[in-house]
């Protein structure tokens, strides 16, 4: 997995243990960014692929799954939880913070604020799951940070499910990306927000479909920076020692652990055997 620029000031996460979960494989984009910022932290990742996609489930179901997975990650030593899923963040992050008030919990949300700050023309597209775009959390985000920008909300039903298959350049995937990009092209946006943690893995396809003039934003980097800030306050986090080894990465799936193993190797160059997430 890539490391951050060695010249950039950052926490290393030495001694810290961070739990990350998503409804499936998409949160690996967040895991990748966290590893770049925290090379010496131990990272734990759960793909709840056996219950994906979350967008078709009730808030109560997502809350119960999020609590079950968080409890498992804590049992494995996690001191901080990253909810690497927009749907789970909208449906369950408040519940997790109430359930464990002393546990730092980091959620994700579409990067509307940085998009508005960076857009030259104030014409912005947000690509996300239907659930995310309809959620009250996202509507509040839009009201708070959208300002006077013209924002095109583009639901992408089926895109995360297609990415879950693990093939990032299939004809079906290219067709979906082209279809969802067209309304943004028609609206002449200059900035596109990838509002689902799955979507960064097909950012090259979106870049190709939207053209070089459109700046693409995903939130993995912001989530990693926030995680690195919080890690510095964990009791187990220690200062860096020159030459210290990188932290371990462990993976579990409630679906097909072999697929998670294969995809983590193909997408992140991770040579880690995924295990089966224990049932409740």
Binding residues for substrate: 22-23, 54-55, 86-87, 197-198
Taken in order 124, 125, 128, 134, the sign of the CA dihedral is positive
Cβ-contact 225, 231 below 8 angstroms = no
- DSSP helix/strand/coil, 249: strand
- The residues pairing with 124 across neighbouring beta strands, listed in sequence order, are 151, 191
Residue 156 among the catalytic residues: no
Cβ-contact 156, 176 below 8 angstroms = yes
Catalytic residue, chosen from 4, 31, 44, 85, is 85
Crossing angle of helices 257-268 and 28-37, rounded to 10°: 50
Catalytic residue, chosen from 73, 92, 176, 196, is 196
Binding residues: 22-23, 54-55, 86-87, 197-198
Crossing angle of helices 203-210 and 171-186, rounded to 10°: 50
Alpha-carbon dihedral 220, 28, 208, 166, rounded to 10 degrees: -160
Cβ-contact 19, 78 below 8 angstroms = yes
Cβ-contact 219, 150 below 8 angstroms = no
Give the span between the Cα atoms of 237 and 148, in whole angstroms. 42
Tell which residue, 177, 108, 97, has the closest CA to residue 138.
108
- Region label for 214, one of left (φ > 0), alpha (ψ between -120 and 50) or beta (otherwise): beta
Q: Which residues does the annotation mark as catalytic?
A: 85, 196
């Amino acid at each position: 997995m890539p490391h951050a620029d060695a010249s950039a000031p950052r926490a290393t996460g030495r001694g810290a243990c961070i739990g990350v979960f998503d409804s499936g494989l998409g949160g690996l984009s967040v895991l990748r960014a966290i590893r770049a910022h925290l090379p010496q932290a131990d990272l734990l990742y759960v793909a709840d692929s056996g219950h994906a996609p979350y967008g078709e489930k009730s808030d109560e179901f997502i809350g119960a799954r999020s609590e079950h997975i968080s409890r498992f990650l804590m049992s494995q030593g996690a001191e901080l939880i990253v909810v690497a899923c927009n749907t789970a963040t909208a449906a369950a992050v408040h519940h997790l913070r109430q359930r464990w008030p002393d546990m730092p919990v980091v959620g994700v949300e579409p990067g509307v604020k940085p998009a508005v700050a960076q857009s030259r023309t104030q014409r912005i597209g947000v690509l996300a799951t239907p659930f995310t775009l309809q959620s009250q959390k996202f509507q509040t985000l839009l009201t708070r940070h959208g300002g006077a920008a013209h924002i095109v909300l583009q639901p992408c039903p089926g895109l995360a499910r297609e990415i879950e298959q693990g093939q990032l350049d299939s004809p079906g995937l290219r067709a979906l990306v082209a279809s969802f990009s067209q309304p943004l092209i028609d609206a002449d946006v200059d900035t596109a927000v990838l509002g689902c943690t799955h979507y960064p893995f097909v950012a090259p396809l979106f870049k190709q479909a939207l053209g070089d003039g459109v700046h693409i934003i995903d939130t993995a980097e912001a989530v990693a920076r926030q995680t690195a800030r919080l890690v510095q306050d964990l009791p187990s986090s220690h200062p860096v020692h020159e030459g210290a080894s990188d932290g371990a990465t462990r993976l579990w799936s409630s679906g097909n652990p072999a697929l998670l193993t294969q995809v983590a190797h193909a997408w992140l160059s991770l040579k880690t055997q995924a295990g089966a997430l224990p049932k409740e």
